[in-house]
Amino acid sequence: MKKQCHPYYLKNNLSSLNSIVSFIIKNVLYNKDGLVVFNKPYGILQKPSHQSKGGVTKSTLNTAAVGDSSYSLQEVLPFVAQALKCPSLQIVKTPERYESGVGVLASSEVVADKVRQSLRRAKPLQRPSSTYWGVVIGTPQPESARNKFGMKLKPMPGGDKQVVLTRDWSRLSVRRGEVKLASVCHRTLCRDAGGLAGLVEVATTSTKWHFVRLYLSYLLSPLLGDNLLGSRVAEVLGQKVLLPPGNDAARLPQKLNGELMSALRLQPGWEAMVPAHLHLHQLTLIGFQGKGKDLVLEAPVPEVFRQTCDWLGLELPGDEDLQSRTVSSRNDVAHG
């Protein structure tokens, strides 16, 4: 297979404004009462930005920059609103640039606030509102668990800061914003026979500071295509170990072994074009439809994600059902 023909090289191929607008319109999952939900493609960011925040070192997420769009969601929203006959649209919540999945837009500040209130209910209730599917290297240890972690920025010798997980925090550190809390649970949905890779579901109350990527590395099963935190896991004498964030090897782009490269139809030197295989499969808006009535939004995985699962022998659960079921509540199911 030639590099230019590989699915990872092609990705979503959304290079023009019209192609992005068309993609979003075709992938609207829900459009009712000022709430518009769509399946966000990989490689599109919310708004143009090249600055780091809070002193966090910005490592390369996608070294090949293949599949990136030169336009942001903010730039295309006026055209999407016009096509959907909405007076205007604003971004309420979408996956990060190098993720795909459920994206939420609102036609008014009233609707946007209602969505934000639903999402804020997750943390005090310790009910994860964001559920991700990720293809990982290896198998999580343990294969399923429920946890609560703190996240904090740890100063490095070079003067930068790196995010780390901690189980030790004080109420004061949380109030000061020095530690961000996350309730999380994960389960391994399936894995290949040789333990080369797995499909993992991660449900969390927080997505700040790339928490899902961080958590998967903590489980010694880094996300496939993660060039930000994936190299924190290394193999030493045949055993997987978690490297300190300040270690030079932990800052390098992710390396794939020969067996995985072969399974993914990759040749040496093509590793950089592997996309991060993280998809926001489900978003739950707690109490959005009234007391005890949640609005559950679901998005099918993109074709590149599906192709990887096929190559690795990973079966997507409820695949046929998910293609038609995109929005549900506790009491009924709507079809997109």
Rounded to whole angstroms, the Cα distance separating 141 from 182 reads 19
pLDDT at 11: 64
Rounded to whole angstroms, the Cα distance separating 221 from 293 reads 35
> Per the omega criterion (within 30 degrees of 0), is the bond before 300 cis?
no
Q: What is the mean pLDDT of residues 251-260?
A: 92
Distances (CA, A) of 322 to 189, 258, 301, 314, 335: 15, 33, 9, 16, 10
CATH number of the domain encompassing residue 260: 3.30.2350.10
- Is residue 316 within 8 A of residue 310, CB to CB? The reply is no
Mean of the per-residue pLDDT values for the chain? 87
Q: Check whether 334 has a pLDDT greater than 60.
A: no
Is 152 or 238 the better-scoring residue by pLDDT? 152
Range of the domain at 9: 3-335
Strand ranges for 60-208 from DSSP E? 90-93, 100-106, 130-137, 144-155, 161-166, 180-191, 197-204
pLDDT at 68: 65
pLDDT at 210: 95
Contacts of 17 (CB under 8 A, 6+ apart): 71, 75, 76, 79
| Each residue's pLDDT tens digit, 115-146 | 999 999 988 888 999 999 999 999 998 999 99
Q: What is the mean pLDDT of residues 263-287?
A: 95
Please name the amino acid found at residue 219. Answer: L
pLDDT at 50: 53
| Each residue's pLDDT tens digit, 3-33 | 878 889 876 678 789 999 999 999 999 999 9
Count of structural domains, the chain: 1
pTM: 0.89
Rounded to whole angstroms, the Cα distance separating 170 from 178 reads 10
